[in-house]
Amino acid sequence: MEIKKISFIGCGALGIMYASHMLKTLSPEQVRFIAGRDRIDRYRNTEFYANGVRQDFRFVPPEADRPPSDLVIFTVKSYGLDDAVRLAKDHIGRHTVILSFLNGISSEEIIGRAYDPAKVIPCMVAGMDATKTGASVNFSNTGYVAFGGLPRSVPEDLDALARFFERVRIRYQIETDITRAIWWKFMVNIGINPASALLRSTYGLFQTSAHAEKLMTAAMRELYEISRKLGVGLEERDIDDAIGIIRTLSPDGKTSMLQDIEANRRTEIDIFAGALTELGREHDVPVPVNAFLYNAVKALEDQNDHAIRVQRLTKRASDELKNQTAAIAALADEIWREHFTPIVGAAQVGYMLAKFQSAGQIYTDITENGYTYFTAREAAGGALIGYCGVAPREDHLLLSKIYVRRDFRGKGAARRLFDEASAFGKREYGFDKIRLSVNRHNDIAIRVYKKIGFKVVDSVVTDIGGGFFMDDYVMEFLAAGK
């Protein structure tokens, strides 16, 4: 097997860095990014740069009308992985090799549940120092890729990867114990990412400050103690090796978590200190440093949440309300085509947008059908980023709609909208119970609702006309103590 066609999914710092590097030796037809159609429309109006050089990336939609890729590389954030797995479906065939460049220790397992786990080659990337500002990425070090087989892996795939990385001049190493290597990378991230976000500092501080290094080392040591219980194979010297890697990075470079905090984005603290805190609890290993770092970074995320402003729309008919419902309908169109097309198909998405999410229907729902709408906007600039609609029913508040623009998911906007709607239902109608319907295959939304406190209480199939049906769970939220 020879790897010729490569697809990335995730156009962040890693995706841009590695794609731009590969394009130095491969043709533009060989390297592409998979993205939803709405995102592709935005990307086509975006200028991407790597180290100051403009990149002419190719973007392809999830619905493939071409042969599967030889290699698919996931470079999304951990909280975007479920979406990415769905989007990549038509680009993965029997002979496709799959790599995950994600942080943490669980992404290969998640991908392997959707595709042939034998084709998911465990790997990790380390030593890179890419920094992303807008659509521009700068880096001085592309690091290296470490990969290795498990008993289920196909040896020919490992050989093909080695030949491919040699051809595109990316440093690599084949690990005899890839699980240990992934945990070593996990230890590097546990040490540097949360601490750098908390201290708002570049790599330079950890290269020059003994106090910063002690904080980083203490977090790593807690992971090391857990790894001993799990028999992962890490050794004391691995902590020194991790610190040695960090000393080689550009002093002006920033961790991904620091970049996320600075850009008011959701961080990956849940798969770092959050995951380690859970492992510590499960295996009875104290992890006070990581528990502190988890709460500290979560507090920074909470602080960023205040950059979102939630407003209840008036029910009074007016030109202003028409303008607001038109903006909501435009956002609904963007979100639905991006998120629901892989779940229910483009035809049903178009039908439901026209029937339930048009500007005219939303306007009528507000002015005549008893619905109340809330919008979420950026505090700076006022751009619309999300909305929800609620209506009173006999013994509960119906949460009819709650949607957030993709680039603001995980930043607290959905929770802010829900809290406002919940308080409104209690204040106006005395309701402690909230119900909603969610597509049975909308796994991401179901997890979010469960995290808020909703539980599945029923399932229902509804004929919505046009030959289409909604196959939903009914979920219910009860206020604390009820």
Under 8 Å between Cβ of 469 and 463: yes
Classified as helix, coil or strand, 216 is: helix
Q: Residue 395 is encoded by which pair of tokens?
A: 């013994």
Query: 113 pLDDT band (50/70/90 cuts)?
Result: very high
Q: Is the pLDDT of residue 471 over 80?
A: yes
Q: What is the mean pLDDT of residues 155-174?
A: 94
Give the Cβ contact number of residue 365 at 10 Å. Answer: 19
pLDDT score for 380: 62
Query: 481 pLDDT band (50/70/90 cuts)?
Result: very low
Classified as helix, coil or strand, 137 is: strand
* CA dihedral of 356, 361, 365, 367, whole degrees rounded to 10: 170
pLDDT score for 480: 56
Q: What is the mean pLDDT of residues 430-457?
A: 91
Residue 356 burial (CB < 10 Å; 0-12/13-18/19+)?
A: middle
Under 8 Å between Cβ of 367 and 315: yes
Give the start-to-end residue ranges of the domains of the chain.
6-304, 308-478
Please provide the DSSP assignment of 278-319 as one string: HHHHHHT---HHHHHHHHHHHHHHHHHHTTEEEEEPP-S--H
Q: Is the pLDDT of residue 411 over 80?
A: no
Distance from C-alpha of 167 to C-alpha of 177, rounded to nearest angstrom: 24
Right CATH for 308-478 from 3.40.50.300, 3.10.290.10, 3.40.630.30, 3.30.365.10? 3.40.630.30
Q: What is the mean pLDDT of residues 92-114?
A: 93
Q: Is the pLDDT of residue 389 over 50?
A: yes
At the fourth CATH level, which superfamily is domain 6-304? Answer: NAD(P)-binding Rossmann-like Domain (3.40.50.720)
Q: Residue 343 is encoded by which pair of tokens?
A: 């779940």
Mean pLDDT of the chain: 91
Q: What is the mean pLDDT of residues 431-450?
A: 92
Distance from C-alpha of 238 to C-alpha of 321, rounded to nearest angstrom: 60
Q: What is the mean pLDDT of residues 159-168?
A: 96
pLDDT score for 306: 65
Is pTM beyond 0.75? Reply is no
Distance from C-alpha of 82 to C-alpha of 238, rounded to nearest angstrom: 32
Give the Cβ contact number of residue 40 at 10 Å. Answer: 16
pLDDT score for 42: 78
Classified as helix, coil or strand, 41 is: helix
Query: 381 pLDDT band (50/70/90 cuts)?
Result: low
Query: 153 pLDDT band (50/70/90 cuts)?
Result: confident
Strands 123-128 and 142-147: antiparallel
Strands 6-9 and 31-34: parallel
Beta strands in 167-221 (DSSP E): 172-174
